[in-house]
Amino acid sequence: MARKVVQTELEEDEYLLLKKAVEKKSMSLKSGLREAVHQWVTTQIPLSEDPLFKVEPVKTGVKTDSSRLDDALYKEKQG
């Protein structure tokens, strides 16, 4: 996969906060910045464009009854 170099400037306090955060996680500045960019970018994509929500349901042939889902998950009796 091709990579692009991105260069920017940070305020001193931003840099110090970033440095402290990546050191706490034993990460490099580069890895921390990549993670921060990835997290920010993913919050900017509308759910309607998220590939997860474009997955079509798969027919398994197994009948389900969602009214009893709480019983299975939480072992609660619905009354």
Q: What is the pLDDT of residues 28-71, one digit of tens each?
A: 999 999 999 999 998 998 888 888 888 888 888 888 778 878 87
Spatial separation of the C-alpha atoms in residues 79 and 76, rounded to whole Å: 9
Confidence of residue 77 (pLDDT cuts 50, 70, 90): low
Under the banding of pLDDT at 50, 70 and 90, the label for residue 13 is very high
Of the listed ranges 19-23, 62-66, 75-79, the one predicted with least confidence: 75-79
Domain-wise residue ranges, the chain = 12-74
Q: What is the pTM of this model?
A: 0.57
Task: Give the pLDDT score at 24.
Answer: 97
Angle subtended at Cα 1 by Cα 42 and Cα 7, rounded to the nearest 5 degrees? 65
Cα 33 from Cα 25, distance rounded (Å): 13
